[in-house]
Chains A and B, each alone.
Chain A
Amino acid sequence: MNPFWSNIFRGSGYEDTLAYFLSTVPVFSKLKKRELNFLETIVHVRNYQKDEVIFEEGDIGSGMYAIRSGQVVIYTRDEHDRETEETVLESGDFFGEVALTASRPRIASARTTEQTVLVGLFRSDMLEAVRKHPAGAANILLGLTRVISDRLHHSQILIHELKRQQTGSDREHNQS
C-alpha cells in the first residue's frame, strides 16, 4: 500500500492502549470492549525499578497484578533465608489473583528483575465496581473464577496422578 494511505489508515493506535493490553491478559480475555474501558478506569498502573520488591511473603495481599512490560520473579524463602525461585513471569502474565477476593497473606514473594510496568487490580476498587457496575464486575469476576477453577482442576488431576503413583510404589514396596 501507498505509505501515504497507510499512514492515514493506520488505526488509532488501539494496540498501545491499556484496554488492549488488558484484553490480552487471560483473566480479562472474554470481556467486551465496553467492559474493558470500564476496567481501565479502576486499575492502577505502577512503575517499578529493577530489583524492586513488589510484595513479600506474609504481606497482606489486596489484589492482583498483570505485567505490562518487564519481568517479575516469584520466589519463596526457607528457614535459612535462602531464596528459591518458583517461576519467572513475562509481560502478559499475571500473579497474586487469589488476594483479589479476600485478604490473605501472600504465600510467595515477588520481585522485578528489570524495569517493569505493572497493572494492579485491587479489592477495594473491585468492591466499588460491584456496587456501581454489577454486570461489568460480574464478567471480570467470572473471568477470574474461570482461571482459578482451571488451575484447581489442573492441580486436582496432578494430585490424582501423584496418589496413583504413591499407591503403585506402595504396592511394589509391599510385594518386595
Chain B
Amino acid sequence: MTDQSGLSRAQVFLLYFVLTAAIASGIAIFSSASTITEMLQTATDGLFLPILLSLIAAFLLDPLVQFFEGEKIGRTGSIFIVYFLISMLILLLLLSIGSPNWEGMMQALKADFPRYFGRAIEYLNGLLMKAQEHFPFVKDYDLPEKMRQSAETFLGLILIHTPKSAMRIGSLFLLVPLFSFFFLRDSRRLMRGLISLTPNRYFEMVLDIYDHVSWQLTHFIRGRILEALIIGIVVWMGLSLTDIRYAPILGVVAGVTNLVPYIGPIIGMIPGLLIALVDLGMGGQFWWILCVYLLIAQVILDNFILIPILISRVSNLHPLLVILAIVMGGKLYGVLGMIIGVPIVSIINIIILEIRQYRRTFSPHTQIISERNKVT
C-alpha cells in the first residue's frame, strides 16, 4: 500500500482525468444502453423459441445419449446414434400411420372458430337475459359485445401470424436439431467453464451446490415435459373415441397448458368443452369428454400417478406465487411467457431450496469443529 497523502501533482492530475473520463463514458454508456438493448432485442427476436425448444429437446434426449455413451462410443457418436434412431422412429410413424392432417385441421379451425365463438356468445347472451330478469343492475354491463371484440382481435392476430409462423416452423426444423446437438455435446464443458470463473475460496461450495441443483432441475424439467406429453396423448386418445373434431389439436392444447399448475388444466379444457357443446350438444359424449378431461387426465393420471412419480413434492409452489408468475410472464412474453413463467419460477425456487438445504446440512459440522476448538 502506498501512502495516500504522498500523491504528486502529476498523479492528482492523472486521477482527475481518469475520473472525468470514467464519468463521461459512464453517462455515454447509460444513454446508449437503450439503443443497445433494442438492438439486442431485434437480434435475438426469433431465437427465443428455437433455443427454448432445443433446450427442452436436449433435456429429454440426455438420458438416451447417456445410455449409449460409454467406453467405446464417445458422446458425439452417441448423440448421432440417438438422432438416427429418432429420425427412423418418426419416419416409421409417418409411414405406418400417415401424418395427421395438421394443415387441413388448422384451416378448418380457422373457418370454424367464428362459428364456435358466435355460438358461445349466443349462449352467454341467453344466460345474461335470464340474469337480467333477476338482477336488473347487470344491464349496463355489455359483456357479450366486449367478448366479441376481443375474440375478433384474437382471430385477426392468428390470421396475421400464420404465414409468418409457417416460415418460422420451417426454420425450427432446421435450428432445433442443430442447437440441441450442441447443447447435448457441449453443455458440460460450458457449465465447467462458467463454474471455473468462481473465486478459489468458494469454488468447492459452488461446485457442490451446482451438482445438487442440476440434479434436481433435470428431474423437474424432464418430469414436467413427460407429464405434459402423457396428458396430451391421453386426452387425444380419450377424445378420439368420441365424434369430436380436432382431437389432436385439443390434446396438444391440454398438454401444453398442463405445464401451468392449478389454472392451466382448466384453461386447457375450455376449448374442448366449447367445441363439444357446439358440435355434439349436451349428450352422453359431452359428459364423456368432461370425464376425460377432469377425471381421467387430471385426477387419476396427473394427481395419483404422474406427479408422485415424476415430480417431487419439494418443488411445489404456493398458489399465489403461481398466479404472480403467470401474470408477470404474460407481461413479458405474452402467451408463451404465461406458459413458461411458472416452470422458471419453480426452477428459481429449487435453486433457493437447494442452497438453503446445503447450508443447513453442513452447518452442524462447522459448529462441531468450532466447539471442539473451544474445548481443547
A58 touches B369 (CB 8 A): yes
Q: List residues 193-212 of chain B with CB under 8 A from any CB of chain A.
A: 196, 200-201, 203-205, 207-208, 210-211
Complex contacts, B200 vs chain A, CB 8 Å: 46, 48, 52, 54
A105 to B365, CA, bound (A): 6
A122 to B373, CA, bound (A): 27
Neighbour of B204 across the interface among A60, A131, A136, CB < 8 A: A60
A58 touches B66 (CB 8 A): no
Complex contacts, B104 vs chain A, CB 8 Å: none
Neighbour of B366 across the interface among A58, A103, A122, CB < 8 A: A58
Complex contacts, A104 vs chain B, CB 8 Å: 365
A132 to B362, CA, bound (A): 28
Complex contacts, A133 vs chain B, CB 8 Å: 70-71
Interface presence of B2 (CB below 8 A): no
Nearest Cβ in chain A — how far from B202, in angstroms?
A: 10
B365 touches A60 (CB 8 A): yes
Complex contacts, B354 vs chain A, CB 8 Å: none
- Which of B369, B370, B374 neighbours the largest number of chain A CB atoms within 10 Å of its CB? B369
A3 to B133, CA, bound (A): 109
A134 to B362, CA, bound (A): 29
A123 to B259, CA, bound (A): 34
Interface presence of B219 (CB below 8 A): no
A160 to B208, CA, bound (A): 39
Nearest Cβ in chain B — how far from A82, in angstroms?
A: 11
Interface presence of A15 (CB below 8 A): no
Interface presence of B368 (CB below 8 A): yes
Q: List residues 41-74 of chain A with CB under 8 A from any CB of chain B.
A: 44, 46, 48, 52-55, 57-63
Query: Closest residue of chain A to B214, judged by CB?
Result: A124
Report the tally of A-B residue pairs with Cβ distances under 8 A: 66
Complex contacts, A163 vs chain B, CB 8 Å: none
Known A-B contacts A55-B204, A78-B376; A132 and B66 likewise in contact (beta carbons under 8 Å): yes
Neighbour of B365 across the interface among A58, A78, A120, CB < 8 A: A58
Interface presence of A161 (CB below 8 A): no
B204 touches A79 (CB 8 A): no
Known A-B contacts A105-B368, A133-B71; A62 and B373 likewise in contact (beta carbons under 8 Å): no
A131 to B65, CA, bound (A): 13
A132 touches B69 (CB 8 A): yes
B70 touches A132 (CB 8 A): yes
A56 to B331, CA, bound (A): 47
Nearest Cβ in chain B — how far from A106, in angstroms?
A: 9
Complex contacts, A120 vs chain B, CB 8 Å: 203-204
B374 touches A79 (CB 8 A): yes
- Which of A124, A131, A135 neighbours the largest number of chain B CB atoms within 10 Å of its CB? A124
B69 touches A62 (CB 8 A): no
Interface presence of A151 (CB below 8 A): no
Query: Closest residue of chain A to B358, judged by CB?
Result: A60
A60 to B203, CA, bound (A): 11
Interface presence of B130 (CB below 8 A): no
A124 touches B207 (CB 8 A): yes
Contact with B along A15-27 (1 / 0, CB 8 A): 0000000000000
Query: Closest residue of chain B to A34, judged by CB?
Result: B71
B69 touches A58 (CB 8 A): no
A79 touches B376 (CB 8 A): yes
B192 touches A44 (CB 8 A): yes
Contact with B along A141-157 (1 / 0, CB 8 A): 00000000000000000
Interface presence of A164 (CB below 8 A): no
A123 to B208, CA, bound (A): 8
A104 to B204, CA, bound (A): 13
Complex contacts, B71 vs chain A, CB 8 Å: 133, 135-136
- Which of A122, A127, A135 neighbours the largest number of chain B CB atoms within 10 Å of its CB? A122
Interface presence of A33 (CB below 8 A): no
Nearest Cβ in chain A — how far from B153, in angstroms?
A: 51
> Closest 4 CB pairs between A and B?
A124-B211, A58-B369, A105-B365, A60-B362
Q: Which residues of A contact B (CB under 8 A)?
A: 44, 46, 48, 52-55, 57-63, 77-79, 103-105, 120, 122-124, 127, 131-133, 135-136
Other 10 A-B pairs with CB < 8 A, given A79-B374, A105-B368: A44-B203, A58-B369, A59-B204, A60-B365, A61-B204, A62-B207, A63-B207, A103-B362, A132-B70, A133-B71
A/B interface sample: 28 pairs, CB < 8 A: A44-B192, A46-B196, A46-B200, A48-B200, A52-B200, A55-B204, A57-B369, A59-B204, A59-B366, A60-B204, A61-B204, A62-B205, A63-B204, A78-B373, A78-B376, A79-B374, A104-B365, A105-B362, A105-B366, A105-B369, A120-B204, A122-B204, A122-B207, A123-B208, A124-B211, A132-B69, A132-B70, A133-B71
